[in-house]
């Protein structure tokens, strides 16, 4: 009996070590708790983030221990990537946003258009007057397809009333990045310098790769299996993130 207990403890220990290695160096699951990336990521989406895409820093490890001075095996992120990062304000909270600005870039919103290095980002209207979530309310928005200079395209939405028409000029410091939510008027991101601002390269956790599960929490939690037919968004299972 004692030998069996010891073997079970060893098995559990090895399983935890393997899980820790996978989480730290390969893939980590994340949950989407807010509407800042709608319509591309929805509240209730669960996704895998690759930890190896940009190399490794202390934030690759649980609790961000101070055992790595700088990012190792690093690769540069690309405009348009959807990235999980630790907020500069506390170096603990995970945010997920789309990368818009690289080090040295100039970013500004002028007359409701996004400018990158004094060039207006190409924006094609897809549809108007669609309701989308913003916290506990629905807002009326217009859907646009935006295309960055590197050819990456994605859907962004702008509020039809009360949208940010103009902003300050943002100049991204060396070794930092500028992020924005796709739900432009419902996102706390790099435009808010006091709470998020420019994100240090060391703070990048990984790139969002795939949605593996999605549940509409307004229609029922996962444990309410009798509501699965209403709450599970099976069409989003194993959807590649763009």
Residues 6+ apart with CB under 8 A from 24: 51, 60, 61, 62
Torsion angle defined by CA atoms of residues 96, 100, 101 and 106, in that order, rounded to the nearest 10 degrees? -130
Which of 57, 87, 46 lies closest to 241, judged by CA? 46
Buried-exposed string 153-163: b where 16+ CB fall within 10 A, e elsewhere: eeebbbbeeee
Of the residues 34, 97, 187, 214, only one is catalytic, namely 97
Quick check: 240 and 209 in contact, CB under 8 A? yes
Nearest-angstrom CA–CA distance, 88 and 172: 14
Of the residues 35, 36, 57, 231, only one is catalytic, namely 36
Nearest-angstrom CA–CA distance, 170 and 159: 22
Q: Confirm whether 190 is a catalytic residue.
A: no
CA 73 remoteness from chain centre: 22
Q: Confirm whether 36 is a catalytic residue.
A: yes
SS3 for 146-170 is: EECCCCCEEEEEEECCCCCCCCCCE
Q: Which residues are catalytic?
A: 36, 97
């Amino acid at each position: 009996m004692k030998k069996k207990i010891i073997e079970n403890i060893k098995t559990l220990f090895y399983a935890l070590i393997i899980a820790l290695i996978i989480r730290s160096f390969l893939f980590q699951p994340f949950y989407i708790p807010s509407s800042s990336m709608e319509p591309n990521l929805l509240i209730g989406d669960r996704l895998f983030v690759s930890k190896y895409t940009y190399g490794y820093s202390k934030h690759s490890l649980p609790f961000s221990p101070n055992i790595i001075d700088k990012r190792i095996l690093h690769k540069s992120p690309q405009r348009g990537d959807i990235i999980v990062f630790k907020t500069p304000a506390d170096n603990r909270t995970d945010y997920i946003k789309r990368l818009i600005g690289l080090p040295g870039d100039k970013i500004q919103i002028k007359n409701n258009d996004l400018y990158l290095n004094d060039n207006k980002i190409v924006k094609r209207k897809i549809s108007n007057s669609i309701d989308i979530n913003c916290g506990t309310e629905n807002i009326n928005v217009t859907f646009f397809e935006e295309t960055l200079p590197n050819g990456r395209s994605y859907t962004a939405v702008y509020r039809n009333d009360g949208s940010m028409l103009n902003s300050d000029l943002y100049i991204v410091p060396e070794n930092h990045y500028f992020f924005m939510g796709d739900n432009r008027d419902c996102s706390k991101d790099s435009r808010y310098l006091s709470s998020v601002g420019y994100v240090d390269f060391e703070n990048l956790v990984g790139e969002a790769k795939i949605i593996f599960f999605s549940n509409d929490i307004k229609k029922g939690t996962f444990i309410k299996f009798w509501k699965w037919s209403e709450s599970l968004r099976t069409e989003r299972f194993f959807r590649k993130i763009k």
